[in-house]
Amino acid sequence: MGVRVPLRATSSERGSRMPIRWYAVSLQSNREYLAQKYMQGNGVVHFLPTYRTMSARKDKSILLNRPLFPGYIFVQLEIPGQQKSVVLKSPGVCGFVSFSGGPAPVDDDVIDSLRILTGVASGGVRPHPLVKAGQRVRVADGPFRNAVGILCEADGQGKNLVVEVSFLGRAVAVPIDPEQVIPILR
């Protein structure tokens, strides 16, 4: 899971230098563990959140640790700083996730929450597509598999999948578990 560090660097650990922040780094496909090993060997504080999943093989099933965010690893460092170049030289690294021309810091609370979730509930944590009420979705599992509709909030009673027949001015709704749907990107 990465180098163990305090959840937040204290002001005495930082001294008068630039603030130490968390950043997301994008990676080439399936290079998470290679980049993690390189960073660990070069003293870069990093965090690769993982989850456990069963993988069916020809003759048996095995338990694997998979990256929770494939193609990304989090690093904690100063920008600018020497370790930035170490990160960029790591195998498989494409670059920092950037907005407005510079690496975009990730809130400490996000990293703290991910560390808590992956540390305590390692068996129950798994990736899930971000779906919101009002979003167009496709049902991926269950009796309504492949149905397409709008995910709606049902006044304190959970979520509903609403399928609209617009030319008739009608719609039908069925209760749906949000974990059974995936967002449809336009």
The model's pLDDT over 49-90, given as tens digits with 9 standing for 90+, comes to 988 887 777 788 888 888 988 999 999 998 888 889 999 999
Task: Please say which residue of 76, 91, 120 terminates a domain.
Answer: 120
Task: Please say which residue of 90, 120, 150 terminates a domain.
Answer: 120
Query: In Å, how far are 131, 139, 151, 152, 185 from 143, measured between CA atoms?
Result: 20, 9, 16, 18, 23
Looking at every residue in the chain, the average pLDDT score rounds to: 80
Taking a C-beta distance cutoff of 8 angstroms, is the pair 121, 50 a contact? no
Residue 61 and residue 89 in one domain: yes
Residue 141 and residue 114 in one domain: no
Is the residue at 74 inside a domain? yes
Residue 68 and residue 19 in one domain: yes
Residue 89 and residue 62 in one domain: yes
pLDDT in tens, 116-149: 888 765 566 777 667 777 888 888 877 778 888 8
Is the residue at 148 inside a domain? yes
Q: Which domain holds residue 153?
A: 136-183
Taking a C-beta distance cutoff of 8 angstroms, is the pair 8, 97 a contact? no
Is the residue at 126 inside a domain? no
Taking a C-beta distance cutoff of 8 angstroms, is the pair 49, 67 a contact? yes
Which of 46-50, 66-70, 163-167, 172-176 has the lowest average pLDDT?
Answer: 163-167
Residue 22 and residue 92 in one domain: yes
Which regions of 132-180 does DSSP assign to beta strands (E)? Answer: 136-139, 148-153, 159-165, 170-176
| Cα Dmax for the chain | 67
Residue 171 and residue 95 in one domain: no
